[in-house]
Chains A and B, each alone.
Chain A
């Protein structure tokens, strides 16, 4: 019923209603465009802030990494020195084991 009534209203002046439809469509297209620039400007500010924060964070991490790299050489050298010292002491322990084994063999 409602549909038939709408058709009959449309048939009375189709040009007018087609024009009205076009007008509405163009408004639908136009109105959101009004806000686009403002919205993108806001987004740009937000992303600029984020970008800046990430730049600062990267810089901080690079400093941290660089300072650790500087220490790395000393730490690696230290580690190797302690390993060598430990190897040396452990070799003394082996000497003791070998001596005991030799003594046991001699006793047998």
Chain B
């Protein structure tokens, strides 16, 4: 039988044992590092791809910022238009302009027939003002009016002249604000022009208080000085509508024409009215808060 090495002999083999163990650890280390190689490649790849994504996101953000400026340009163009309108009004008021101004206004809508009014206005490249009520079933018509650049005026939500609208300034203002909220909620549109249902005289004794409330709410208001009588006369013909409104309108430097966009006689007369107003040097404008005819 072989004898087991004693402590002195063990001491002799210790360096060799240590070198072998060191070699083993070294090899194991190599195996670990080599094994982690693909993982490291994956991490590097992910880092590169993330960096590329970051750059792409930055480019997209720049593009979005540029695109977001476009509505501002539209607003600037609109502001330029209304500034020019204001200047023109001023010149007409001072009597130094060869032109006069007409404002086409349509009350109590929207209606399904409003689309046909919009078509006529579009064909004649004319802007107008629609004094609307609150009608949730006609959301698409409000949208169509706004998309074509016309002014939406506040005509109260309910138009209930005989059912409490003019009972007191509070009932009046709450109806005005109800339409405000309706227009804002559905179209983010804030109207600043107002027309009293039935005209300002309908407000009776509370008229001054109503006007004060309107001004406090940021509104200007306007009546009319020419009309087709389309809400008064049954079976009105387009000739009668035209014949009534034109002498009234053309006797004024600032003609505010009242029509109702439910009426087919006014609709039929509208192309001729526009054409003849222009023939007599009238410029057609939509109403705006700073307009000289707004009170």
Spell out A's residues near B (CB within 8 Å).
15-16, 18-20, 22-23, 25-27, 29-30, 33-34, 36-37, 40-41, 43-44, 47-48, 50-51, 54-55, 57-58, 61-62, 64-65, 68-69, 71-72, 75-76, 78-83, 85-86, 89-90, 92-93, 95-96, 99-100
Contact = CB atoms under 8 A, between A and B. Distances in A.
B29 A26 contact: yes
* Interface bin, chain B: 35 or more
A54 B57 contact: yes
A68 B67 CA distance: 6
Interface of B: 14-19, 21-26, 28-30, 32-33, 35-36, 39-40, 42-43, 46-47, 49-50, 53-54, 56-57, 60-61, 63-64, 67-68, 70-71, 73-74, 77-78, 80-81, 84-85, 87-88, 91, 96-99, 127, 149, 283
A19 B74 contact: no
Contacts of A78: 74, 77, 149
Contacts of A61: 57, 60-61, 64
A92 B70 contact: no
Contacts of A15: 15
Nearest to A79: B74
B26 A82 contact: no
Contacts of B16: 19
A26 B96 CA distance: 101
Nearest to B15: A19
Contacts of B57: 54, 57-58, 61
Contact of A30 (B28, B36, B91): B28
**Interface residues of chain A: helix, strand, loop or mixed (majority):** helix
Centre residue among A48, A81, A85 by max chain B CB count within 10 A: A85
Contacts of A83: 77, 80
B91 A51 contact: no
21 contacts: A16-B14, A16-B15, A26-B23, A26-B29, A27-B25, A30-B29, A33-B28, A37-B32, A54-B50, A54-B54, A57-B57, A61-B57, A65-B67, A79-B77, A89-B81, A89-B84, A92-B99, A92-B283, A93-B87, A95-B99, A99-B97
